[in-house]
């Protein structure tokens, strides 16, 4: 079954064709980073407009690269939650019109579930159940994936998302938006023990995260340094910040392995590209006797292939929609137990 799917929840306009949820026939991503860079973050109205301008192009390219005519696709998938509402609506309305015109099934997909499904594309042997840690610019969720369409959210952030924290720390250091990738590079060059930052774990909850204290600690550290006339060492700050993030992640994962029988961990979302987090999570998995499944860099950030992959499993579970399909900005996670 060949599914053409669209992703427009934030600042990437993407379309892809995936066969049977596992084989990528095409995967086209148009990033808006260059547009939002100058504002230091995503401007929702500008994002919606840019999606409108790009969506036909990504659709045509995804079909061409898959060597398919529109009528040869079997279904149309689309991210309809959560995300920027105006941005989501562009993809949802485009997908609705296309599905209606082609008289093909329309399949709604939760963006976070899509991030998890990205791993099916990279690891043919991966099947639920497993634990998944999804960390992106908008979410930090620890999930028990009971089946392809059965998810139990066991932990999440109480405040900022992991990617947001990397981007904010990056902004304090004056590196451009989004700062995650550059923070990763700087951290490799610095001393992780230079500054004692608080770990990103909630003390009285086994699986939840908090990133706001860490963000404040970064801001306080830079203010103090400036007031004392001392230089900030970006490499040391990035390394110490990353160490605190990794420590929090490791404690959440250890608790999850102690509480759940699964011995498979999936890392997903834009922040899963972070080399230090990948190493830290792998180390915890080794300690807990679990196998880790990592996404290739091309499937960490937002893309259409991950949405097409999850759309396949949603379709098999009977999750389809009609022309009344809507977009939802805040729907945190969907459960189909
Ligand atoms: O999943 P994604 O592409 O979009 C959302 O759904 O939000 O994630 C984007 C986030 C950004 O905050 C970006 O800074 C972060 O992922 N990111 C990283 C790295 N690469 C991207 N964060 C830490 N280390 C990285 N190497
Ligand atoms: Zn995402």
Distance 136 CA to ligand 2 centre (A): 5
pLDDT digits (tens, 9 = 90+) for 199-226: 999 999 999 999 999 999 999 999 999 9
The answer to whether the 2-116+302-316 and 128-298 domains have the same CATH topology is yes
Ligand at shortest distance from the CA of 42: 1
Q: For 154-179, how does the pLDDT look when each residue is reduced to its tens digit (9 = 90+)? A: 999 999 999 999 999 999 999 988 99
Query: What CATH code is assigned to 2-116+302-316?
Result: 3.30.420.40
Tell me how far apart the terminal alpha carbons of the chain are, to the nearest angstrom. 24
Give the confidence band of 43 by pLDDT, cuts at 50, 70, 90: confident
Pocket of ligand 1 (CB under 6 A): 10, 136-138, 163, 166-167, 178-181, 183-184, 269-271, 273-274, 301-302
According to DSSP, residue 85 is labeled H
pLDDT in tens, 4-23: 999 999 989 999 999 999 99
Q: Give residue limits of the domains in the chain.
A: 2-116+302-316, 128-298
Give residue 332's pLDDT: 62
Ligand 1: which of 271, 280, 305, 329 to mutate, most ligand atoms within 8 Å of CB?
A: 271
If you measure from the C-alpha of residue 134 to the centroid of ligand 1, how many angstroms do you get, rounded to a whole number?
A: 11
Express as a percent the part of the chain with pLDDT over 70: 98
How far apart CA 249 and CA 8 sit, in angstroms, is 28
Q: Each residue of 2-11: b (16+ CB within 10 Å) or e? A: bbbbbbbbbb
The secondary structure element, H or E, covering residue 250 is helix 234-259
Domain 128-298 coded CATH 3.20.20.140: no
- Assign 336 a pLDDT band (cuts: 50, 70, 90): low
Residue in 27, 84, 136 to alter for ligand 1 test, most ligand atoms within 8 A of Cβ? 136
Helix (H) or strand (E) holding 29: strand 23-31
**Could you tell me the pTM of the whole model?**
0.96
């Amino acid at each position: 079954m060949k599914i053409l799917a669209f992703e427009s929840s934030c600042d990437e306009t993407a379309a892809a064709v995936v066969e049977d949820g596992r084989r990528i026939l095409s995967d086209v991503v148009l990033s808006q980073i260059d547009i939002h860079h100058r504002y230091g973050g995503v401007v929702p109205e500008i994002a919606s407009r840019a999606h409108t301008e790009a969506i036909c192009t990504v659709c045509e390219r995804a079909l061409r690269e898959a060597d398919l005519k529109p009528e040869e696709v079997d279904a149309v998938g689309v991210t309809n939650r959560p995300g920027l509402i105006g941005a989501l609506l562009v993809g949802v309305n485009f997908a609705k019109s296309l599905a209606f015109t082609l008289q093909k099934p329309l399949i709604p997909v939760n963006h976070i579930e899509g991030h998890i499904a990205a791993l099916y594309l990279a690891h043919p042997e991966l099947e639920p159940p497993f634990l998944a840690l999804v960390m992106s610019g908008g979410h930090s969720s620890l999930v028990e994936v009971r089946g392809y369409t059965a998810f139990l959210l066991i932990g999440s952030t109480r405040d900022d998302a992991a990617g947001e924290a990397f981007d904010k720390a990056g902004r304090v250091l004056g590196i451009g938006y989004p700062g995650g990738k550059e923070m990763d590079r700087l951290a490799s060059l610095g001393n992780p023990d230079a500054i004692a930052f608080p770990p990103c774990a909630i003390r009285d909850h086994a699986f939840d995260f908090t990133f706001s204290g860490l963000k404040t600690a970064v801001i306080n550290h830079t203010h103090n340094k400036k007031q004392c006339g001392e230089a900030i060492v970006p490499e040391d700050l990035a390394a110490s910040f990353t160490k605190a993030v990794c420590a929090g992640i490791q404690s959440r994962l250890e608790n999850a392995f102690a509480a759940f029988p699964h011995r498979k961990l999936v890392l997903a979302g834009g922040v899963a590209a972070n080399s230090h987090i990948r190493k830290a999570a792998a180390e915890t998995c080794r300690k807990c006797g679990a196998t880790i499944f990592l996404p290739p860099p091309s499937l960490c950030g937002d893309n259409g292939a991950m949405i097409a992959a999850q759309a396949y499993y949603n379709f098999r579970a009977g999750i389809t929609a009609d022309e009344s399909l809507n977009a939802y900005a805040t729907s945190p996670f969907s459960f189909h137990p």
